[in-house]
């Protein structure tokens, strides 16, 4: 009798563990499309992600790079102190979006051009996205001390 109860407990524990692992796997699989990692332009230059990889690209909108095309089609470059990435965006830009200011775009890279489906611009003079600050710090540069990217 005692052996039967022990076997039932062990079965319940095993079933519970299998259910927990299955639930964790389903949650991880469901979240996989919603996770977007941040990348700076220098990281794109070092290793370009595939066209199916969604990520956020952040940096400073390069001076003189903003070009408006037909309709809402807009092209500009996002740069850091090391390199620059061309961006294409086909929606309305935020009101505070302008050259020389910080921006973060979400999308994917196709043939060296970042195809953005959303763009965020800084909302006041003191704001700088944490990811951009961290990427610039890795380069040993602060936003105020940035110099133009050479060769662009």
> How many whole angstroms separate alpha carbon 147 and alpha carbon 40?
16
- Whether 143 has a binding-site annotation, put simply, is no
The pLDDT of residue 148 is: 39
The pLDDT of residue 100 is: 87
> How many whole angstroms separate alpha carbon 70 and alpha carbon 128?
31
Averaged over successive runs of 10 residues, the pLDDT of the chain (152 residues) comes to: 83 94 87 74 88 88 89 90 92 86 91 92 64 72 48 36
- Whether 108 has a binding-site annotation, put simply, is no
The pLDDT of residue 19 is: 95
The pLDDT of residue 1 is: 63
Domain ranges of the chain: 1-35, 37-145
The pLDDT of residue 145 is: 47
Cα angle 64, 105, 94; round to 5: 70
* pTM exceeds 0.85: no
The pLDDT of residue 95 is: 82
Distances from the Cα of 89 to the Cαs of 8, 107, 151, in angstroms?
60, 9, 24
* Among the four given CATH numbers 3.30.465.10, 3.40.50.1820, 2.40.50.140, 2.30.42.10, the one describing domain 37-145: 2.40.50.140
The pLDDT of residue 150 is: 38
Given CA atoms 134, 99, 42, 113 in this order, what sign does their dihedral have?
positive
């Amino acid at each position: 009798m005692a052996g039967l109860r022990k076997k039932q407990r062990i079965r319940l524990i095993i079933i519970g563990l299998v259910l927990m692992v299955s639930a964790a796997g389903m949650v991880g699989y469901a979240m996989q499309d919603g996770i977007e990692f941040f990348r700076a332009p220098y990281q794109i230059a070092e290793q370009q992600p595939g066209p199916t990889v969604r990520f956020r690209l952040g940096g400073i909108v390069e001076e003189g790079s903003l070009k408006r095309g037909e309709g809402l089609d807009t092209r500009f470059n996002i740069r850091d102190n090391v390199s620059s990435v061309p961006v294409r965006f086909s929606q309305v830009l935020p009101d505070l979006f302008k050259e020389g200011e910080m921006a973060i775009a979400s999308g994917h890279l196709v043939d060296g051009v970042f195809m953005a489906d959303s763009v965020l611009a800084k909302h006041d003079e003191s704001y700088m996205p944490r990811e951009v600050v961290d990427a610039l710090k890795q380069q040993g540069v602060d936003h105020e001390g940035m110099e133009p990217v050479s060769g662009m």
